[in-house]
Amino acid sequence: MRIRLISYMLYTVTGLSVLLSTQAQNVENVHNQSTKRVYQFSIHEEIMPGTVRLVDRAIEQAMAMDADYILLDLDSYGGMLDAGDSVHIKLLRCPIPVLCFVSNNAASAGALIAISCDSIYMSPYAKMGAASVVDQNGQIVDEKYQAYMRGIMRSTAEANNRNPEIAEAMVQGGGAVEGVIDSGQILTFTTSEAIKHGYCEAEVSGISDLLAKAGIANAQVSQHQISGIDKVLNFLLNPVLRGLCITFIFLGLYFELQTPGIGFALGVAILAALLYFGPLYVEGLAEHWEVLLFIVGIGLLIAEIFVTPGFGVAGISGLVLIFMGLVLSMVSNTGLNFDLAGFGAIMESALIVLSSLVIALAVMFAFFGRFMRSGFFRKLTLETSEDAVAGYTTTIYTEPASLPGKTGTAVTDLRPAGKIEIEGEWYDGQSEGPYILKGAKVKVLEVKNNYVIVREL
C-alpha cells in the first residue's frame, strides 16, 4: 500500500512538472510570436549612387537579423534617375515587407521609391509626386525620358496593387485621371489625397504611431548604422574636399615639373588624384574612360616636357584632357550621353575645376618663394649658385664643331638640364632623355643653341 502511494505521488509530481514546463514554453512562444523585429534606415538626401549602396546594406543587415519588417524613413526631393531605378528594383524584390514613412517629401525619384514599398504612411504635412525627369537645373528633359519614367511608375504601382494611372500622372505627359487630376498637369498628393486614392495607408505623427497603426505591437526596432567606409566615402565626396584634391593635383604637378625627380610633389599629386577619382568611381559617377582621359593627359604633358622640350601640341592636348577628365568625372552620364545631367551640371563642374586652379595659382605665387627658401625644400633640390666665378656663362658657343664627340662630367644633376664640365670648362648641358646624376661621365652629341646635348656614358 505504501509503495503504491509513493508511486502515485511521484507520478503526480512528474506530471505537474511537465505541465508547468509546457505552460512556460507556451508563454515564451506567445511572447516571441508577438515581438516583431523591425529594421529601420533613412534616406534624407538626394538620390545618388551612394543611396543604392545604402539600401543594399540595409536589406542585407535586415535579412541577417531575420527582421519581420523593414522601415524606410524617407525625405527626398529626388535625384538621379538611374540610382532611383536601382533602388526601386531592390525594394520590389526585397523578401521582407517594406514600410515607408514619408516624413516630409517624396518627390521625383523619391516618389518612385515610396510607391516601391509595400505600405506607405505619411506625416500630416508630407507630399508625394512630381516624378518628371529633369536635369540638374530643374528643366524637364526630352519626352523619351518622360515616357520611360511613366512606364517605371506604372509598372511599380501595378506590382503593389495601386492605381497605375495615378502613378503615371505624377510624370509629365501622364494624362488626366478622372476625379484626381486634369490633363496637362503633374500630380502631387497631400497626405489626405494619398489616403483617399489608395497611395497611403494612414496619416501618422511619427515612427511609434506608424507601428501602432500598422498593427505591429511590441516592436523591437534596430537602427541602421552607417559603416566606417561609408562615412569616409561621404566625407571624400564633399564638394569642398573635391576642390581641394584638384588644387593639390595642380600644385603637385607644378612643383614636380619645376624640380623634376624629387618625388615628393609627384606623390602628393598622385595621392590627391586617388582621393578625387576613387570615391567618384565607387559612386558610379567617374567612368573608366573619364579616368583614362586624365591619365593620358598627364602622359602627354610629361612627354611634352621630357621628350620634346618646349610646349606644343602634346602639352596643350595634355592640359585639355586633364581638364576634361576632372570635369566629366563629376557629372552623371551614360557613356557619352550627358542629357540627364544637362549643360548646367557640366558648367558647375568646370567652375569647381577652374576655381581649384585659381587657388593653386594663388598658392604658387604667394608661397613659392617662401617654399623655395625653406630648409625642407633645400634638402630636396639643387642649390648650386650659377655665377660667373663658378664658371657659368650664357654665351652661345662660338666653336660648336669642336665639342661633339668629347666627354666630360656632370657637375650638377641634369633633370634634364644642368651643368657639365669638359676639359676644365663649364657648359650648360642637357640630357637627351633620361636624368643624369651629378658626377656621371657624359658624351657630347651636339650643340643646340646655348645647350650641349649629352648622353650618359
Q: What is the pLDDT of residues 150-192, one digit of tens each?
A: 999 999 999 999 999 999 999 988 888 988 988 778 999 999 9
Can you say whether the dihedral through the CA atoms of 23, 25, 27, 33 is positive or negative?
Answer: negative
Q: Look at 437 and 197; give whichever has higher pLDDT.
A: 197
Query: Given the C-alpha cell 489626405, which residue does it identify?
Result: 192
Determine the pLDDT at residue 368.
56
41 strand-pairing partners: 72
Counting Cβ atoms within 10 Å, is residue 409 exposed (0-12), middle (13-18) or buried (19+)? middle
Q: Which pLDDT score is estimated for 89?
A: 92
pLDDT in tens, 335-380: 666 665 556 567 777 888 888 888 887 877 776 555 555 554 454 4
3-state secondary structure of 432: coil
For residue range 7-47, list pLDDT tens digits in order.
Answer: 444 444 444 454 445 444 544 443 445 788 999 999 998 88
Task: Report which residue type is found at 122.
Answer: M
Q: How many residues does the chain have?
A: 457
Angle subtended at Cα 16 by Cα 11 and Cα 20, rounded to the nearest 5 degrees: 150
- pTM of the full structure: 0.62
Cα-to-chain-centroid distance, residue 227: 16
Amino acid at site 131:
A
Which pLDDT tens digit goes with each residue over 422-455?
888 888 888 887 778 888 899 888 887 677 888 8
Domains assigned to the chain: 35-225 (3.90.226.10), 229-380 (no CATH), 388-456 (2.40.50.140)
Asked whether the predicted pLDDT for residue 102 surpasses 90, the reply is yes
* Angle at 418 (CA atoms; ends 415, 423), nearest 5 degrees: 135
- Helix (H) or strand (E) segment spanning residue 287: none
Mean pLDDT of all residues in the chain?
A: 80
Spatial CA neighbour of 450 closest among 416, 400, 385: 400
